[in-house]
Structure 1
Amino acid sequence: MPKINGNEIRPGNVLEHNGGLWAAVKVDHVKPGKGGAFAQCELRNLRNGSKLNERFRSADKVEKVRLEQRDMQFLFEADGQLTFMDAETFDQVTVDAELLGERRAFLQDGMTIVVEFYENEALNATLPQKVTCRIAETEPVVKGQTAANSFKPAILDNGIKVQVPPFVGQDEDIIVNTETMEYSERA
């Protein structure tokens, strides 16, 4: 694995540190008036989810880990475990549903997502950036309501609450950004 200097750490990097695999969530580069520069990093453990704040000086060497990314198809959920299948080899992998957190509601049957592996251990899963959802409940469309930035609450078929423009009605399909969990456009 390649070693990088402490000042080369970026958000999203996966590091091997203190015998565990850590993802850099936030990185602040600090140059105090007295002393050497350092990177203040908020790290999240990929195996158990614990967090750690660590300082790395520019002279410190850390091991950067490359995760293998595979496209996998969602099959089903059982007992808090999500089962995915590799489309090429048909191998099935089971991961903890907590891995997706609140974005779990956007997972649909047959959806292809990216699962990241380290030595055949599934560590992370990423949903597509945009997902099509149906509006289950919202206020009726009001004709003539054309205020620029007015939004109304809506509940999607998966139970997530989002703000939608006033022209969007019930039982319409919309596209939702899974990263920000906000309305993107009509489907």
Structure 2
Amino acid sequence: MPKINGNEIKPGTIIEHDGGLWASVKVNHVKPGKGGAFAQVELKNLRDGRKLNERFRSEDKVEKVELENKDQQFLYETDGRLVFMDAETYEQVEIDADLLGDRRPFLQDGMTATVNYFGEEPLNVSLPQKVKCKVVETEPVQKGQTATSSFKPAILDNGVRIMIPPFIGPDEDIIVHTELMEYSERA
């Protein structure tokens, strides 16, 4: 694995540190009046989700890890495990459903997601950025409410509650941004 200097760590960089795989979430480069510059890095463990704040000086060497990304099709869920299939080899892999966290309801049958592998070990699942959902329940439109950019609560077909514009009614299809978990546009 290639070694990089501590000041080359950027958000999203994956490093091997303290015997584990860590993804940098936030990076703040600091130049104090006295002493050398350093990078204050917030790390997240890719295996168990722990967070850690570390300070790396520019002369510190860390091992950068490259993950292999594979597009795989979601088949079904069984006992808290998600089953994905490789479209090329038809090989199936089971991944812990907790890896998706709050985004789990947006995973739909037959959806293609990107699975990040370290060797043979699946570490993370990335959903498509936007997903089509149906509004199941929302409040009726109130007259005069369109003058300001107000939003109203809605429940989607997957059970997720989000805020939508007042002109969207029940049984309408919308596009939801999966990272932000918010309304994007009409479908």
- Structure 1 length as normaliser, TM-score? 0.97
Residue 146 of structure 1 aligns to a residue in which SS?
Answer: helix
Paired position in structure 1 for 2:56: 56
Paired position in structure 2 for 1:166: 166
Give the Cα–Cα distance (whole angstroms) in 2 for the partners of residues 143 and 132 of structure 1.
28
Give the Cα–Cα distance (whole angstroms) in 2 for the partners of residues 147 and 87 of structure 1.
49
Structure 1's consecutive aligned runs of 4 or more residues displaced over 4 angstroms after TM superposition are none
Deviation at 1:143, TM superposition (A): 5.1
Give the Cα–Cα distance (whole angstroms) in 2 for the partners of residues 150 and 50 of structure 1.
37
Whichever residue aligns with residue 172 of structure 1, its letter is E
Structure 2: gaps (5+ residues): none
Deviation at 1:148, TM superposition (A): 3.3
Paired position in structure 1 for 2:14: 14
- For residues 65-108 of structure 1, the C-alpha deviation after alignment (integer angstroms, 9 at most, x for no partner) is 00000000001111111110001111111111110000001000
- For residues 119-146 of structure 1, the C-alpha deviation after alignment (integer angstroms, 9 at most, x for no partner) is 1110011000000000010012345542
Structure 1: gaps (5+ residues): none
Whichever residue aligns with residue 37 of structure 2, its letter is A
- Structure 2 length as normaliser, TM-score? 0.97
Q: CA RMSD in A?
A: 1.0
How many residues get paired?
187
Paired position in structure 2 for 1:100: 100
Deviation at 1:48, TM superposition (A): 1.4
Give the Cα–Cα distance (whole angstroms) in 2 for the partners of residues 48 and 137 of structure 1.
36
Paired position in structure 2 for 1:76: 76
Give the Cα–Cα distance (whole angstroms) in 2 for the partners of residues 99 and 93 of structure 1.
14
Equivalent pairs: percent with the same residue? 72
Give the Cα–Cα distance (whole angstroms) in 1 for the partners of residues 149 and 34 of structure 2.
48
Give the Cα–Cα distance (whole angstroms) in 2 for the partners of residues 78 and 44 of structure 1.
27
Greater mean alpha carbon deviation, residues 47-56 or residues 143-152: 143-152
Verify: 1:156 aligned to 2:179, yes or no: no
